Each structure stands twice: as structure tokens, then as C-alpha cells.
Amino acid sequence: MDWPTFIQSISNAVILGSIYATVAVGLALAFGVMQMANFAHGEFFMAGAYVVYVFYALGGMPFPAAVISAFPVVAALGVVTERFVFRPTRGNVLAGFMATAGVAFILQVIVGQVWGVGLMRSVPTPYMGAASILGAQVSWQRLIILPSTLVMVGGLWFFLHRVKLGKALRACAQDVEAASLQGININKITALSMAISGGFAGVAGALMAPINAVTPYMGHSIIVTAFIVVIVGGMASIEGSILAAFILGFIHTFVTTLFDAVLATMAGVAFMAIILVVKPTGLLGRVRM
């Protein structure tokens, strides 16, 4: 691997890690509060991409505004899903799995019915050209992902550690019964966590819309990686998920560059298996938010 390729791969890895982090943090947050693995999280990502497709590509809204509006739209989707699908199955792992997997299929079918299944929806690239960083060429379209992730993850950290409501969310993740004894309304916090979770997945999908193929099934690839990231990170650990996201970003990018994409996916899964053997609680599994 020569120097320009190396630098190129590093920048690709960081940007891929940023997307993984944005998606996985939402998944970890929802898991932490609800103890429920949301298999529809990839479809929230897909929904975010469609928000950009509809608002920006079809509707002519400025790209940044379309990306930002993906947050409330998909957050609302998360809240509705929580209220009518997750809440009735709370505390039942199998029912929760079936329900979230069911939501994933329903969202795919709805989107497919409305906007078609066949050809991918093309979203024109709003930011042409590339920045030159130490000899590597990084397209602006990818580069804007990095500050977006920093703002979102930083904002989430501030909310969880400096705002009373955010602290209450952590309290629920650590001991839901004790939290209810402090006067914290568990249903409100659960809805809030799903709103944030959905919003994060939505914005990630929105940012990827001009880069990825926008199809009803685009959630598949991201959900597998997101689960690997969350498992490696320690299920309910935000910090662990961020760390694992960047590690996975590097593994996927470098193995793809040196070998191929299939091997990269396998390497990611192998990495998860090794972590689970060596440290079954995940990288930072003992820290729950």
C-alpha cells in the first residue's frame, strides 16, 4: 500500500466510522433504556435517506435543510413505533424481537409501495469536488459527515451529562425501577430515547443519501454493522459504541482496500467474535451510559 492510498484509506475509515457511530449510538441508547434490540433501526436509517430523496431531490429543499429535517421526521417515526409496537412488548425479549423485525419489513414495504422497489432513487450530489488532505482526495460530500457526527455525538454527550432530562435518561438505563422512584416518568423517557435514537439513524441515512444507493432495503447492510458495533462496544455503552464504530470503520476500509468487501465484512464479524471471547461484556461493557 503506497502513501497516498494509505492516507486515502485512513480518511475513508474515519468517515465510515463516523456514520457507524451515528447509527450505533442511537441503537445503544435505545437498548440501554428499553433493553430491547431494535431490528428496525436500519429502516430508520433508510427512512432518513428517503427524507432527503423526497425533500431535496424531489422537493428542491436545500440539502442541509433536508438533512436536518430528517431528524424530527425519523424521531417521530421512532416515537410512534415505541408507543404502538415496543411498549406493548416491553419485558418480553422474543416478542420484542418479532415486533421490531416486523416493523422493519413493514417500513420496507410501505416505502417500496410509495416510491417503487426496482431502480435505486438517485439523489444528486449537492457538494461537488473534493478536498485534498495530505495527498488524499476526500469528496466534500463525505467530508461533511465528520463535523455532522461531531456535533451530534457532542450534543448527545452534553445532553446526557449536563441536562437534567438527559441524566434521567441515563438513570433509566442504569436502574429503571429506582428511576421511577425518583419521580421520573419512564414512558416519557422511553419515548425520548426512541426519538433520539430514530433521529440519529435518520440523519445518518440522510447524509448517506447522495453517496449510497437509496432503496427500501438499504437498511440491511447498516443494521448488521450497527449491531456488531454495539455488541463490541458493550450493548448499552455510548462511549463503547463510538470506539467500536471507528475500529470497525478502519477494519472495513482497510480490508476492503487490501482485499475485498466480502472479506471486510467477515473480518468485522471475526473481530466481534474475538472480542466476545476475550471480553464478553464488550470493550466498555461495564459502563452503562
Binding site for other proteins (CB under 8 A): 164, 167-168, 170-171, 174-175, 177-186, 287-289
- Residue 240 C-alpha cell reads as 463503547
- List, in sequence order, every residue forming a beta bridge with 137; answer none if it has no partner: 132
Instruction: Pick between residue 87 and residue 220 the one whose CB is nearest to other proteins.
Output: 87
CB of 115 to other proteins, least distance (A): 42
CB of 35 to other proteins, least distance (A): 16
Dig out the grid coordinates for 119 from the structure: 431502480
d(CA 50, CA 46): 6
CB of 180 to other proteins, least distance (A): 4
For the CB of residue 164, give the shortest distance to other proteins in the complex, in Å: 7
Q: Please, what is the Cα angle at 243 between 224 and 17, to 5 degrees?
A: 55
Query: Which of 241, 203, 252 has its CA nearest to residue 46?
Result: 203
Residue 287: which residues within 8 A CB-CB, separation 6 or more? 234, 237, 239, 240
Instruction: Give the nearest distance from C-beta 286 to other proteins in angstroms.
Output: 9
Task: Specify the residue, 149 or 237, whose C-beta has the smaller distance to other proteins.
Answer: 237
Shortest Cβ 54–other proteins spacing (Å): 39
Residue nearer to other proteins on the CB measure, 94 or 181: 181
Q: How far is the CB of 102 from other proteins (least distance, A)?
A: 28
Taking the least distance from each CB to other proteins, the nearer of 61 and 186 is 186
Nearer to other proteins, 171 or 231 (CB): 171
**Closest separation in Å from C-beta 79 to other proteins:** 19
Task: Give the nearer residue to other proteins in terms of CB position, either 220 or 288.
Answer: 288
Q: Parallel, antiparallel, or unpaired: how do β-strands 136-139 and 130-133 relate?
A: antiparallel
Q: Which is nearer to other proteins, 142 or 170 (CB)?
A: 170
Name which of 138 and 236 has its Cβ closer to other proteins: 236
